[in-house]
Amino acid sequence: MKRIAVLTSGGDAPGMNAAIRAVVRTGVARGWEVRGVRRGYAGLVGGEIVPLGARDVGGILQLGGTILGSARCPEFRTEEGRRRALRALVGQGIEALVVIGGNGSQAGAYELSRMGFPVVGVASTIDNDLAGSEVTIGVDTALNVALESIDRLKTTASSHGRAFLVEVMGRHCGYLALMAGIAGGAEAVAIPEVETDPEALARELRGAYERGKSHALVVVAEGAQLNATRLAEYFHENEKRLGFELRVTILGHVQRGGAPGAYDRLLATRLGAAAVAALARGENGVLVGWVRGGVTTTPLAEVAGRQKALDPELFELAQVLAR
């Protein structure tokens, strides 16, 4: 192995830069040349590939987002688009590719792998819905951002005796909402994996007040059947019957920004270094993730197109703790 490339794809996640840094510096330490692909698969198709040395990744460990950028690329979903990407890699003498990203990114990595090009994926998404890793780069930081917001809102909710809906990201996975709800002491959680009955939710919130609580707070996943906006509309339309309304706070992309915490910096560093180590020992077509307290590799064929299941016992725990 003489030359490898690294790209980031999909939604940015705090810690991606730490992973890029680890790939570059551990690759250079092995005597390899490292190239960076700008704008994800779009840049790969367009041949936007630049040299990266140890000094090029200095000072990025603490930065949020990704210095390489990311962009949507419908063309890469076509066979011709992927062939253009391969030609760009081969044309620059690149022998392997490290892909840092989530579900869609690793699906793309799998397609390149199927075409015979050595690829190793690195698990990175704040949604934490990627099979092959118990926790992914960016999750811890995003969760802490959500938790800080929840703590602040609870102060206001208690002061005014109000009920709040807090919507967090996560696409079609309720992990962030569920964990933020448990850690933030929410009265209820609404997630895609469990159907939400607004009438039952109203009873839960009313019960919180009857038990002497001075506020009520519900954490809602953006992908829930009834998101925060729809739930608020339902409560507004039925305010006279239900007896109260819900204030809405949508955290949105603020959860993906900002500096990564210590956990994400360390996780990203270890997974990035492990991706280079996998290539060095001739292992490719795999995702590098974190399982049972250590770095593991899982075939991309077992990762692509799959969403990691949420532990139903955690949802039951959230319900018990809310009372």
Alpha-carbon span 132 to 134, nearest angstrom: 7
Q: What are the binding residues for ATP? A: 11, 72-73, 102-105
Q: What pLDDT sits at residue 214?
A: 67
Q: Taking 70 as the threshold, does the pLDDT of residue 268 lie above it?
A: yes
Residue 204's pLDDT is 85
Distances (CA, A) of 316 to 97, 173, 178, 264: 41, 16, 10, 28
Average pLDDT, the chain: 93
Over residues 5-28, the mean pLDDT reads 97
CATH 3.40.50.450-classified regions of the chain:
3-138+260-302
pLDDT of 207 reads 82
Going by the annotation, the residues of the binding site for ADP are 21-25, 154, 185-187, 211, 213-215
Residues of the chain within CATH 3.40.50.460 domain(s) are 140-256
What pLDDT does residue 184 have? 93
Residue 264 annotated to the active site: no
pLDDT at 257: 82
Of 154 and 44, which is predicted with more confidence?
A: 44
Confidence check: pLDDT of 209 > 90: no
pLDDT of 121 > 90? The answer is: yes
Predicted TM-score of the model (pTM): 0.93
Name the active-site residue from 12, 56, 127, 311: 127
Q: Which of 128, 145, 114, 112 is nearest to 37 (CA)?
A: 112
- Work out the pLDDT band at 246, boundaries 50, 70, 90: confident
Q: Which residues are annotated as a binding site?
A: 11, 21-25, 72-73, 102-105, 125-127, 154, 162, 169-171, 185-187, 211, 213-215, 222, 247, 253-256
For the ranges 159-168, 189-198, 271-280, the one whose mean pLDDT is highest: 271-280
How high is the pLDDT of residue 253? Answer: 87
pLDDT at 211: 80
The tens digit of pLDDT for each residue in 136-164 reads 999 999 999 999 999 998 878 777 667 88
pLDDT at position 61 is: 95
CA dist 161 and 29 (Å) reads 58
CATH fold of 140-256 reads Rossmann fold (3.40.50)
Q: What DSSP string runs through 63-84?
A: --S-TT-----GGGGSHHHHHH
* Least confident interval from 48-57, 78-87, 249-258: 249-258
Q: Round to the nearest angstrom and report the end-to-end CA distance of the chain.
A: 58
**3-state class (DSSP) for residue 124:** strand
pLDDT in tens, 19-30: 999 999 999 999
Give binding residues for Mg(2+) as ranges.
103
Residue 97's SS3 state is strand
Say which residue, 161 or 125, is predicted with more confidence. Answer: 125
Q: How far apart are CA 161 and CA 141, in angstroms?
A: 30
**pLDDT confidence of residue 161:** 65
- The CATH class that applies to domain 3-138+260-302 reads alpha beta
